[in-house]
Amino acid sequence: MRPHPIAVCTALACACLAPAAHAKSNLLELLAQKGVITMDEYAELKAEQKGEPTVSTDDGFKLSTRDSTTSTPPSFQVGTLQQLDYAAYDDDKAALSDGSELRRSRLSIGGTFLTDWQYRVEYEFSGTTGVTDAYVTYNAHKPFSLTLGQFKQPFGMEAYASDKNLTFMERGLPFAFVITRAPGIGAGTSGANWSINGGLFGEPVGNAQAGNDGYGAAARASWAPILTDEGVVHLGLGATWRVPTQDNSTNASGPKFDTVRFRSKPESNVLAQRFVDTGEIRDVNDYTTVGLELAAARGAASFQGEYQMAQVSRGGASTLDFDGWYAQFAWTITGEARPYLANRGFFDGIRPSNPFGKTGWGAFELALRLSEIDLTDGNIHGGKERNATAALNWYLNQYLRVSANLVKVLEVDGGPMHDDEPTIFQTRLQFAY
Amino acid sequence: MRPHPIAVCTALACACLAPAAHAKSNLLELLAQKGVITMDEYAELKAEQKGEPTVSTDDGFKLSTRDSTTSTPPSFQVGTLQQLDYAAYDDDKAALSDGSELRRSRLSIGGTFLTDWQYRVEYEFSGTTGVTDAYVTYNAHKPFSLTLGQFKQPFGMEAYASDKNLTFMERGLPFAFVITRAPGIGAGTSGANWSINGGLFGEPVGNAQAGNDGYGAAARASWAPILTDEGVVHLGLGATWRVPTQDNSTNASGPKFDTVRFRSKPESNVLAQRFVDTGEIRDVNDYTTVGLELAAARGAASFQGEYQMAQVSRGGASTLDFDGWYAQFAWTITGEARPYLANRGFFDGIRPSNPFGKTGWGAFELALRLSEIDLTDGNIHGGKERNATAALNWYLNQYLRVSANLVKVLEVDGGPMHDDEPTIFQTRLQFAY
Amino acid sequence: MRPHPIAVCTALACACLAPAAHAKSNLLELLAQKGVITMDEYAELKAEQKGEPTVSTDDGFKLSTRDSTTSTPPSFQVGTLQQLDYAAYDDDKAALSDGSELRRSRLSIGGTFLTDWQYRVEYEFSGTTGVTDAYVTYNAHKPFSLTLGQFKQPFGMEAYASDKNLTFMERGLPFAFVITRAPGIGAGTSGANWSINGGLFGEPVGNAQAGNDGYGAAARASWAPILTDEGVVHLGLGATWRVPTQDNSTNASGPKFDTVRFRSKPESNVLAQRFVDTGEIRDVNDYTTVGLELAAARGAASFQGEYQMAQVSRGGASTLDFDGWYAQFAWTITGEARPYLANRGFFDGIRPSNPFGKTGWGAFELALRLSEIDLTDGNIHGGKERNATAALNWYLNQYLRVSANLVKVLEVDGGPMHDDEPTIFQTRLQFAY
């Protein structure tokens, strides 16, 4: 009644070839090998297993099916990102309010469906509730992928990287030039040490400005001329072009309300005041941004810097040029390296080797940043700001992180807060699961 | 020590009777049959299996338990509906703003609990965040069911059908008469080719009007005199009665603020303007709506039409009569039939036979609709509108759909946008999982 | 080829020692015992099982992994709380609006990660959408636990207990003195019949008051001198201290806008009016609340009472003293006892012995409450109110509950609604999963 064990082995082919394969076998394969069940029964039960989920807890709590006919079986995950901040301001000019806020409070679902499709939907509950991500990606022809919906425009190494993996609590001053997420269509591909992404985008969901919606394009390329186990050198280039929402009211007089505005808080978000602000620049035809990226990591040390500029073309007035840059250095005291994602062109988060608990303390990181933005040009007096920031990050485990930032506003020249140069202490508890 | 295989078979009864049953057996049954484990051990392990989940990916990612003592074991599913629209308006009178919007952005949870109960909770994140569905259903005495909470009032074939399975991007003009979801208690039952649903309802959750909340009743019956594998003929009848929120302020003078308002955008939602609008009709005692439905499908072709009227009874002023209708024809180029849900009395969505991917292109559908609404009667000059719409739908797979609609506003007579008859092009990306 | 069964038993040790252990064994252990698989194979497969989830439906739909190396394997659960209320007001003075509302509409995720950590994130969609819970708890050194994020301040037996397990639809009048959730850091521990919790807290997330955020501390201790299968006697003591948000505007004249406000609806939430209200008390230095708790349960009967007082210290004006109390008695007609959570110091919800369905009707409970609050002191004339409430609760099953409350406002003396003493009938449908 039972097939001879050797016959089973022959039929099972690779599952029997080596002890290594054996180690990966599951109960069904074992029982078939031992002849407890027949090959037909094995095949039948194997097919039924497709509906059995497995859980991975390496990166949150993720459910997958056992469908062995594909390398990307259907999967599902609910995720969350919580950032609770406290900030205190030492300022002798303006009344900056100390306090706490939930900087980000997000809930997301995502996964793989029909093997070649991925989706992600994320909502933000801090401030006005709304959508961040809402997209599907088709990746039947890897590494090429096509994305539809609202997602991040490819531009800027720090802007494009995940909100949960930033070295400092807030992105550097030139982030003022970036529109992060917008609805559109994007395409991307990548190689062992490079990536290219581009897309066409409409007006970000939730922007309630009257008039015909703005639109634009964004593209970014990254290249790592050096990429070894010891370290990486990263070069990046990005550009965006955008036509703002067009005022279509028939009774508008004077310059049209086709506006663009660049502004920034001093790398701290609890306070209400923007320290540099162009105000609404009217009668804008379109504007272009260009970004240059240089980064490097070796062991526990890493460097990252970007220069970004924006050129605003106006009807009946001169073209405006604004720019900014930041340069930062980080060092993981406990030795962990910052992983580089070559197919995305940015750094991932640090995973402590010894998580906090009975046998470890987690990872500690020190970082320094200089950043600058200049929003004054032509008849626009948005101001110029330069900041220095020191950071201490404590990664308790892969999901929990405590950050402390000391921001010294070095110079504010012009703009709404001229010569107001506070010192800011802020701290964050982050839970990303 | 082992029971004789034949004895096991006898004990397992039906699991052994036929090879067909064998195909459905699982590992435990197989091992018991083979005498590897005893019947007692089988029973014990079988009982333990109750806690093992199975995943179905036929309609999203659904988890169920293996509890074999019931036909409806506990289950759980997280779902989402995302609709991203873009619309462009060709209009020589008003300034209609082109652009995109997230038409619907929903997150839901639902499932079966304690075997006889089902629940569903859904939130809408587009526009003002809030609840859509929030109900429990008791169905111990199938096909009879009792529903409590906020859910859809039974009225109108197109109104009652799922938001994700509409043939056109927006429901027809007479949808202006319908209040979809409200909190209340509902009951329903159905047979092989008919359904009846009714309920008592309060004011929709989130309606912040001052005064004692409105209330009402709704009922709908469907009957399919022809229902075969080849086709279906559907007849439907619905009615609602509602008392609006009652102004209970003690110092009101003139007509009371017990108001009702009917209005409609031109079957396109991105623009802000309503093309027909009764304004707030004051001093309303109650109002009644009646709806007649006729639909038919044969193979890849289907027809659907509804006539709806509303009668508004006022204190100290004449009764008002408004009405509207639509008629639509759809044809699936790729041959898929539109499934009819006899126990609900409406059509389900189209499932492409060959999903988009390496071996297929999905399903394509063409559709045409004429619709009309008349909101002018007595001293109310809401206007009359007639539209024609052509649609092309591309169902990439069961979860993804791209729609393109061309709406020609044929006539606008009276109301806030008198004689303004734009042509509208709009397109939608829908992800429903 | 097979190891002798006895050898397997020796190796499996405790799994073989007794028939009782046998009953808990799973298929792998059984097959190892029987010698179908070897001990090495058993160990391998056992390790692979870690990724297999199990579902528990005892308290919602909860997923856990089978990781047998820890007593708290990673787990994940999505939960919801829905409360749909209807209220009718019999009042001859003010126009109180009858109607329905979604009192609470919440979605939560939570679970265990990395074995020693727990998290919970919950959003409220009723009224303004926002965060309720958002915290992580570290409990590697049980019973001691440390909590970070936004969570409930420990104060008040009724305030600290779960929103879904309240005997009456609304908490008693003295709840006006309580700030429930705030961001902060908390610590707690407990014994067999006692619990202590304390924490330092900032301003509740979403409070948009200008100025430096308020902060404070809260602590609560519970002790059950009698705690047997038959009954419990509970004593509790709590205190909070808080500095309100500090007005830091530089041009403020007169008393500073460091304000505190206590106010309360008449134990019914559908109406808009607060019946007692101190208004914004200005120039507050800080305020302290103290709460005393006494509760007892024996069989199906239970008593619970609290006295709470608030003392407000002001700059340049007299200290204010407000207080309130409630006393309630509940009796489960169907005999179920109200479980007491000794490690939390409050009662859990009632679980019906015979859920509603083919063989049962669920549990029924009767309850009575007297409550009072006095918000008049010094120059603050907030008013004094005394209420009596009768309640009938129908617990259909552990997840569904219908409540009916009859509130008689016995006395309103001073404050915004002086001498307005309505009778209120209200009912609630609750689904907590």
Q: State the pairing for strand pair A301-314/C75-90.
A: unpaired
Contact A384, A376 (CB under 8 A): yes
Which sequence spans correspond to the domains of chain B?
A: 1-49, 52-432
Confidence of residue B151 (pLDDT cuts 50, 70, 90): very high
For residues C129 and A51, the model is more confident at C129
Contact B75, B118 (CB under 8 A): no
Pairwise CA distance, residues A116 & A133, whole Å? 19
Residue to mutate among C4, C45, C61, with most B CBs inside 10 A, is C61
Contacts of B56 in chain A (CB under 8 A): 51
Percent of chain B residues topping a pLDDT of 70: 92
For residues A188 and B211, the model is more confident at A188
Neighbours of A, requiring at least 3 CB pairs below 8 Å, are: B, C
> Is A150 close to B84, i.e. CB distance below 8 A?
yes
- Is A45 near chain C, with CB under 8 Å? no
> Is B109 close to C82, i.e. CB distance below 8 A?
no
Amino acid at A77: Q
pLDDT, position C253: 64
Least confident of A5-19, B375-389, C318-332: A5-19
Percent of chain A residues topping a pLDDT of 70: 92
- Is B400 near chain A, with CB under 8 Å? yes
> Is C51 close to A56, i.e. CB distance below 8 A?
yes
- Is C84 near chain B, with CB under 8 Å? yes
Cα B35 → chain centroid: 51
Closest CA to C144 of C357, C343, C424, C395: C343
> Is C129 close to B134, i.e. CB distance below 8 A?
no
Pairwise CA distance, residues A293 & A309, whole Å? 12
| Rounded mean pLDDT, C148-170 | 98
Minimal Cα–Cα distance from C429 to chain A, Å?
Answer: 26
Minimal Cα–Cα distance from B56 to chain A, Å?
Answer: 6
CA quadruple C66, C70, C71, C75: dihedral sign: negative
Residue A37 has pLDDT above 60, yes or no: yes
Contact C378, C318 (CB under 8 A): yes
Q: CATH classification of A52-432 is 3.40.50.720, yes or no?
A: no
Contacts of C127 in chain A (CB under 8 A): none
Residue B412: strand pairing partners: B385
Neighbours of C, requiring at least 3 CB pairs below 8 Å, are: A, B
Q: Per residue in B257-313, pLDDT tens?
A: 799 999 999 999 999 999 999 999 999 999 999 999 999 999 999 999 999 999 999
For residues C378 and B33, the model is more confident at C378
pLDDT, position A253: 64
Pairwise CA distance, residues B7 & B5, whole Å? 5
Confidence of residue C127 (pLDDT cuts 50, 70, 90): confident
Q: Per residue in A277-325, pLDDT tens?
A: 999 999 999 999 999 999 999 999 999 999 999 999 999 899 999 999 9
Q: Per residue in A146-176, pLDDT tens?
A: 999 999 999 999 999 999 999 999 999 999 9
**Main-chain dihedrals φ then ψ at residue A7, nearest 5 degrees:** -60, -40
> Is C101 close to B212, i.e. CB distance below 8 A?
no
Contact C177, C310 (CB under 8 A): yes
pLDDT, position B252: 55
Pairwise CA distance, residues B264 & C157, whole Å? 51
Percent of chain B residues topping a pLDDT of 90: 77
Confidence of residue A358 (pLDDT cuts 50, 70, 90): confident
Confidence of residue C93 (pLDDT cuts 50, 70, 90): confident
pLDDT, position B95: 85
Coil, strand, or helix at residue C268?
Answer: coil
Restricting to C residues 202-241, those with a Cβ less than 8 Å away from any Cβ of A are 202-203, 205-206, 210-213
Nearest CA in chain B to A120: B80
Closest CA to B325 of B362, B391, B365, B374: B374
Q: Which two tokens stand for residue B97?
A: 């703003």
Is the full-model pTM beyond 0.90? Answer: yes
Contact C260, C277 (CB under 8 A): no
pLDDT, position A15: 34
Residue A128 has pLDDT above 90, yes or no: no
Amino acid at A3: P
For residues A52 and A48, the model is more confident at A52
Amino acid at A51: G
Coil, strand, or helix at residue B226?
Answer: strand
Residue B50 has pLDDT above 80, yes or no: no
> Is A113 close to B56, i.e. CB distance below 8 A?
no
pLDDT, position C173: 98
Confidence of residue C45 (pLDDT cuts 50, 70, 90): confident
User: Which three-class secondary structure string do you get for C96-111?
Assistant: CCCEEEEEEEEEEEEE
Contacts of A52 in chain C (CB under 8 A): 52
Q: Which two tokens stand for residue B358?
A: 């390496």
For residues C30 and B16, the model is more confident at C30
- Is A359 near chain C, with CB under 8 Å? no
pLDDT, position C251: 57
Closest CA to A400 of C133, C137, C201, C122: C137
Contact B200, B214 (CB under 8 A): no
Contact B184, C84 (CB under 8 A): no
Q: Per residue in C202-219, pLDDT tens?
A: 999 887 677 899 999 999
Q: Which two tokens stand for residue C83?
A: 């409360």
Residue B340 has pLDDT above 70, yes or no: yes
Q: Per residue in C221-277, pLDDT tens?
A: 999 999 999 999 999 999 999 999 998 876 556 667 799 999 999 999 999 999 999
For residues C349 and B67, the model is more confident at C349
**Main-chain dihedrals φ then ψ at residue A159, nearest 5 degrees:** -70, -40
Q: Per residue in B398-421, pLDDT tens?
A: 999 999 999 999 999 999 999 999
Confidence of residue C125 (pLDDT cuts 50, 70, 90): very high
Closest CA to A96 of A264, A265, A280: A265
Minimal Cα–Cα distance from B417 to chain C, Å?
Answer: 34
Residue B10 has pLDDT above 70, yes or no: no
Confidence of residue C9 (pLDDT cuts 50, 70, 90): very low
Average pLDDT over chain B reads: 90
